[in-house]
């Protein structure tokens, strides 16, 4: 009896795991929709804040991959700084800050390095 129940539980867990893995795979349409949503971010709008909340709920590796792919196409400095300011709880925050620190814009670089101070306790920004 115990063995039969254990086998059923194991089979159920296997199915749940398989369903979770299948559900975690992203469809190309979802990927394109996320890229569009990130590209269309406008700083400090309620819709953009909702987008950031939903983005933060994604699998960290998937979310960072989307952000990395989208970063060069973001509409401007304000969108990038908005992302840097609002992704502080993201599990890949150091990678996100690396995107900012290597951005062509000095303003974005400076903001990323300012945020990095919260994690490193060192100042990397040049004071003028």
For 10-32, the DSSP string reads HHHHHHHHHHHHHHHSPPHHHHH
Q: What is the mean pLDDT of the chain?
A: 83
Whether 79 maps to a domain, the answer reads: yes
Q: What residue numbers bound the domain in which 53 lies?
A: 30-120
Per-residue burial over 105-122, b = 16 or more CB atoms within 10 Å of its CB, e = otherwise: eeebbbbbbbbbeeeeee
Q: What is the pLDDT of residue 23?
A: 46
User: Which tokens belong to 29?
Assistant: 């349409």
| Separation of alpha carbons 76 and 79, rounded Å | 6
Residue 17 lies in a domain: no
* Residue 3 belongs to a domain: no
Q: Give 44-50's long-range contacts (Cβ < 8 A, gap of 24+).
A: 44/82, 48/82, 49/86
Mean pLDDT of 110-128: 82
**Residue 47 included in any domain:** yes
Number of neighbours of residue 73 by Cβ within 10 angstroms: 10
Number of separate domains in the chain = 1
Within a domain: residue 91?
Answer: yes
Residue 11 lies in a domain: no
What span, in angstroms and rounded, lies between the C-alpha atoms of 59 and 78? 25
Is residue 62, in this structure, part of any structural domain at all?
A: yes
In tens, the pLDDT along 55-107 reads: 999 999 999 999 999 999 997 899 999 999 999 999 999 999 999 999 999 99
């Amino acid at each position: 009896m115990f063995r039969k129940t254990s086998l059923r539980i194991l089979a159920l867990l296997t199915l749940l795991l398989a369903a979770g893995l299948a559900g975690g795979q992203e469809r190309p349409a979802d990927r394109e929709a996320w890229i569009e949503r990130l590209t269309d971010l406008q700083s400090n709008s309620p819709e953009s804040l909702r987008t950031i909340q939903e983005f933060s709920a994604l699998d960290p590796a998937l979310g960072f991959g989307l952000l990395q792919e989208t970063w060069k196409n973001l509409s401007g400095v304000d969108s990038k700084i908005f992302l840097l300011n609002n992704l502080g709880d993201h599990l890949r925050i150091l990678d996100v800050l690396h995107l900012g620190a290597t951005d062509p814009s000095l303003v974005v670089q400076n903001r990323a390095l300012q945020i990095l101070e919260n994690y490193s306790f060192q100042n990397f920004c040049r004071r003028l």
